[in-house]
Chain A
């Protein structure tokens, strides 16, 4: 019987070694260890073994069974790993083939940039005010201290609907509307479309976009304006950005300034974007003129404020290196899909 067991073990070993797959392995398990398997059959022969030899023989049979079981288990894992490997190899693809295109929409670049500006100012505690595109001469000029014979009021500069109604030439009328509706403290930005009687060419558009800012409270100073716009410029153009405030003139602010930022293309070294100067003009600003505050029902002896305005189109053109303003309103989707 011992010899029989050794033979069996030998056969089982070679059978398992040649088993090609998991199914064949399972067949071997049944063949040797199943209810009617060869090991079981040998156990059935135990009744012929002398009783004193039975424990030893029993142990031998069990050892053989365990050996086969371990063998089966080892081979099974090996085979499974092999089979998965083969399956994966067969399913290999060319990952450089083109993707399945999902349709994705894109915001217009002007709004991409506007959203960025809005986020910056909301983060600084501003709300967003809005106003009509068609507004009154009063809101657009009179209340803003614009001299009555100022050239910007002329038909060659401004689009009129009637003598008293026009297409706003700036977002500043929103300032006026806000101050008339709301008591200080006021902290808003006001983006929107504006219109000027300019023939269309690469750098002029009769419609363009401005973003206005207005802060009114007690003790608002020019230093607050400097600090606010410096922080804004650093957020929008990068923390290395420097600002330069140049005295300027606007009827609705005093003191007034134009603000240049260090060129965000060359960092101030001078390049073709900044015409070699290292600086790019981005906005106009100043302390709200006392006449404007008073006209809007805010006592200039108690309150002060600052205002600023910038051209969104210009910022977008600079930022994305767009050299022709017309492309912004042509809406070729190959353009829009770049943003």
Chain B
């Protein structure tokens, strides 16, 4: 809400308060500041001038040479403007002047003629094009009457005004008005709000003799108030009103429209004026639209309506969409003689709905949809008439048409002072509370033993005791409330699952893996990109009704595409190596179409590429994680059928018949789909299972006291024999003295027959209680060789 400060001062006396103090105090009472600016630009040396002569420029068709009297001197100014006449009073930027956007004006020559300055348009004075009256849209701003020559233009017009922009929260539509903000100022500084009187001095006749109003949809229009003005004269509104409107961000049109806009900004109540003589039978009917009824609105658009839209009509036709926009057929025109001023209350939900369905949002509708008090229409219609009379715009007819079938009583709220203090943590007396509420024009009396507050008509947000608690708190000042800490015993801690998550991340970081975070919603095409079969269960996805685009249209059912996309992005940016992980949720529907909340399952997906990365580095990372979580007894089992992975370089991680996850080299086609021009590796782990099998028990094992005996073994085995098979036999055969067995070499090539490989293992033997002797180890070793030979057809090399 843009509030011109001079305008606001009409209603509250704050001449002793500087603008900084004003803004800071209002921030603390709940009206946040969204910026301040001057109504006009910071003009320098722009003064009132009087055009005494206009001559055609001899060397330029489109230029004229003016003599402009600025009091102490007569300046020759060359201008391209066409809307000026001799005797006009205009703003003159003299040599050395500064106009909008900080532009400096200097004297110079135009086609050989001296020009000692510039005549200014409103745009050059700093006004937005959208606010400038049509008359001055494209030319010099002509002043409405003589002003002292040479006087600073802002001073002369009294428009040197600050405009404060306030953030108005949705619960306070009453503050979408200059008076509403004046009331907040009054409450904040303990002043009294001065309201306009709304008194017409010379009214004649009775409005009810000129027009009739029928409301057939009182549910959508609880109150309809109208007054009549005769013999109006359409002309520009006075300059002060035009500038106030411009400072508030509205374009001046003519006196009648300007008055309705001015009062709307004053009170926050939309107002509409109809050309009474175009309303058939002088009868206004407020009704629901007929199905497919068409109305051409003021913006010249024909709009098709339905029964949910409320219209203002006469017996023959609709003349406006209630609370949103008037119709072209009853618009005020230069020929208009008599008008009906409508000030009504409409149902806010209906206005919101209609405005949305029609795609038509106006100053009026945006106010109505937030809520406007049913008590405002008579006050506002009288204020409009008061201004019409004051500005000599027409003859106000006496009497007021007021269709208000169901009168609403003022809200009363009883409150308990101890609740106010308990919630706020304050220690105020009842008298102090009553005094604070009085600043807000809320009067309190004792009723049935409880202080009971009468809520002013404009405060639609105050309904319950807690609302008063807040009012007391904000005017008392949040910064006057103390700072304490909740007084109860509670110990802070992470849950086991949260700790395990931390441990997992620690292991990954220690293994050189960077953490990434990607969107939870993805494209449906992602699953094609990772080669998933048409019948994959992951194709059952939770989809959004209103996604930002196909790219973000469904909830992810796997993290693999997200990780691949990040690998691709990094690889395409010529980053040589990357190791990344994401720990995040996937979403699996319980049924399709979705009826209940989907299953959210945490996954851990690791990806890498780069010169030093291969299947086994990734396997090492996975093992580090499992070790960190105390998981043992898992196996890597070759997987040849996963469509996303290289069929020869993929494994499932098996623990007690559960698949913990899958890891491997990414299938070359998948890499191609992601435009990854190098080998990439992925591990996809089910973190929910990891959580369940994590074992945090640790038991100390004595550091060996006796020396170990090491034996290397090199054997020739068939290609298909896995390292796991060899190790398994070694472990089973060697028995308890074997401390470890570890492969250290695989060789294929010269001297090795086709279909065979040479594998070498280091076996370490150790006894806990003695130094082993060679003979003892030899016996075991021989036996291992024998079993390897018989079971795997291994030959000693």
- A-side residues, CB < 8 A to B, are 102-108, 110-111, 118, 121-128, 132-136, 149-151, 155-156, 159-162, 165, 167, 185, 187, 193, 195, 197, 199-200, 206-207, 215, 217, 219-224, 226-228, 230-231, 244-249, 254-258, 287, 289-290, 304, 328-334, 336-337
- Alpha-carbon gap, A22 to B58, bound state (A): 112
Nearest neighbor of A330 in chain B, beta-carbon distance: B569
Residues of A within 8 A of B510 (CB): 105
Task: A125-B491, A134-B598 are known; give 17 further A-B pairs, CB within 8 A.
Answer: A103-B511, A104-B509, A111-B515, A127-B495, A128-B498, A149-B352, A151-B170, A161-B544, A220-B486, A222-B424, A222-B473, A222-B478, A226-B481, A254-B469, A330-B569, A331-B569, A337-B514
Check A185 against B490 for contact (C-beta < 8 Å).
Answer: yes
Q: A149-B349, A185-B488, A247-B30 are in contact. Are A329 and B519 (CB under 8 A)?
A: yes
Which of B464, B484, B505, B547 lies in contact with A223, CB distance below 8 A? B484
- B-side residues, CB < 8 A to A, are 27-30, 32, 169-172, 349, 352-353, 422-426, 464, 466-467, 469-470, 473-474, 478-479, 481-495, 498, 505, 508-521, 542-548, 552, 555, 566, 569-570, 573, 575, 578-580, 585, 587, 593-595, 597-598, 600
Distance to closest chain A CB from B9 (angstroms): 24
Residues of B within 8 A of A257 (CB): 478
Residues of B within 8 A of A258 (CB): 32
Check A134 against B482 for contact (C-beta < 8 Å).
Answer: no
List 30 A-B residue pairs with CB atoms under 8 Å apart, sorted by A's residue number.
Answer: A105-B508, A111-B517, A124-B485, A132-B597, A134-B587, A134-B597, A136-B597, A155-B545, A155-B546, A159-B545, A159-B546, A161-B542, A162-B545, A187-B492, A195-B520, A197-B546, A207-B519, A219-B422, A219-B487, A221-B422, A221-B423, A222-B424, A223-B482, A226-B484, A246-B27, A255-B469, A255-B470, A329-B519, A331-B566, A336-B516
Which of A197, A227, A248 lies in contact with B30, CB distance below 8 A? A248
Residues of A within 8 A of B470 (CB): 247, 254-256
Check A246 against B575 for contact (C-beta < 8 Å).
Answer: no
Residues of B within 8 A of A108 (CB): 514-517
Check B422 against A110 for contact (C-beta < 8 Å).
Answer: no
Check B478 against A246 for contact (C-beta < 8 Å).
Answer: yes
Interface of A is mostly: mixed
Q: A105-B511, A134-B555, A333-B578 are in contact. Are A328 and B492 (CB under 8 A)?
A: no
Nearest neighbor of A245 in chain B, beta-carbon distance: B478
Distance to closest chain A CB from B402 (angstroms): 28
Residues of B within 8 A of A105 (CB): 508-515, 579
Residues of A within 8 A of B593 (CB): 162
Distance to closest chain A CB from B484 (angstroms): 5
Check B517 against A247 for contact (C-beta < 8 Å).
Answer: no
Distance to closest chain A CB from B688 (angstroms): 13
Check B600 against A221 for contact (C-beta < 8 Å).
Answer: no
Check A247 against B474 for contact (C-beta < 8 Å).
Answer: yes
Nearest neighbor of A255 in chain B, beta-carbon distance: B470
Check A103 against B512 for contact (C-beta < 8 Å).
Answer: yes
- Alpha-carbon gap, A244 to B27, bound state (A): 10
Check A231 against B485 for contact (C-beta < 8 Å).
Answer: yes
Check B546 against A246 for contact (C-beta < 8 Å).
Answer: no
Residues of B within 8 A of A334 (CB): 575
- Alpha-carbon gap, A185 to B490, bound state (A): 8
Q: Quick one: which of B349, B491, B546 has the most chain A CB within 10 A?
A: B546
Distance to closest chain B CB from A303 (angstroms): 11
Check A331 against B517 for contact (C-beta < 8 Å).
Answer: yes
Check B466 against A290 for contact (C-beta < 8 Å).
Answer: yes
Nearest neighbor of A248 in chain B, beta-carbon distance: B169
Which of B28, B487, B492 lies in contact with A123, CB distance below 8 A? B492
Which of B423, B495, B513 lies in contact with A287, CB distance below 8 A? B423
Nearest neighbor of B170 in chain A, beta-carbon distance: A249
Residues of B within 8 A of A231 (CB): 485
The 10 A-B residue pairs with the shortest CB-CB distance in the complex, in nearest-first order: A223-B425, A221-B425, A103-B512, A247-B30, A249-B169, A122-B492, A227-B483, A105-B509, A255-B470, A245-B478
Which of B353, B492, B519 lies in contact with A127, CB distance below 8 A? B492
- Alpha-carbon gap, A65 to B791, bound state (A): 74
Which of B425, B494, B508, B512 lies in contact with A222, CB distance below 8 A? B425
Check A332 against B570 for contact (C-beta < 8 Å).
Answer: yes
Residues of B within 8 A of A337 (CB): 514
Distance to closest chain B CB from A323 (angstroms): 19
Residues of B within 8 A of A249 (CB): 169-172
Check B492 against A197 for contact (C-beta < 8 Å).
Answer: no
Distance to closest chain A CB from B253 (angstroms): 30
Distance to closest chain A CB from B281 (angstroms): 36
Residues of B within 8 A of A215 (CB): 486
- Alpha-carbon gap, A193 to B583, bound state (A): 13
Check A244 against B546 for contact (C-beta < 8 Å).
Answer: no
Which of B474, B521, B552, B580 lies in contact with A333, CB distance below 8 A? B580
Residues of B within 8 A of A330 (CB): 569
Q: Quick one: which of B352, B423, B520, B521 has the most chain A CB within 10 A?
A: B423
Residues of B within 8 A of A185 (CB): 488, 490
Distance to closest chain A CB from B513 (angstroms): 4
Which of A111, A187, A333 lies in contact with B486, CB distance below 8 A? A187
Q: A122-B494, A290-B466, A328-B517 are in contact. Are A104 and B512 (CB under 8 A)?
A: yes
Q: Quick one: which of A160, A221, A247 has the most chain B CB within 10 A?
A: A247
Nearest neighbor of B493 in chain A, beta-carbon distance: A127
Q: Quick one: which of A110, A230, A254 has the most chain B CB within 10 A?
A: A254
Residues of B within 8 A of A245 (CB): 478-479, 481
- Alpha-carbon gap, A277 to B508, bound state (A): 42
Residues of B within 8 A of A329 (CB): 517-519
Nearest neighbor of B509 in chain A, beta-carbon distance: A105
- Alpha-carbon gap, A309 to B512, bound state (A): 33
Q: A105-B513, A162-B594 are in contact. Are A206 and B485 (CB under 8 A)?
A: no
Distance to closest chain A CB from B391 (angstroms): 37
Distance to closest chain A CB from B359 (angstroms): 12
Residues of B within 8 A of A226 (CB): 425, 478, 481-484
Q: A111-B515, A336-B514 are in contact. Are A167 and B488 (CB under 8 A)?
A: no
Residues of B within 8 A of A200 (CB): 548
Q: A331-B569, A332-B570 are in contact. Are A161 and B594 (CB under 8 A)?
A: yes
Residues of A within 8 A of B32 (CB): 246, 248, 258
- Alpha-carbon gap, A195 to B569, bound state (A): 24
Which of B474, B493, B552 lies in contact with A206, CB distance below 8 A? B552
Residues of B within 8 A of A246 (CB): 27-28, 30, 32, 478
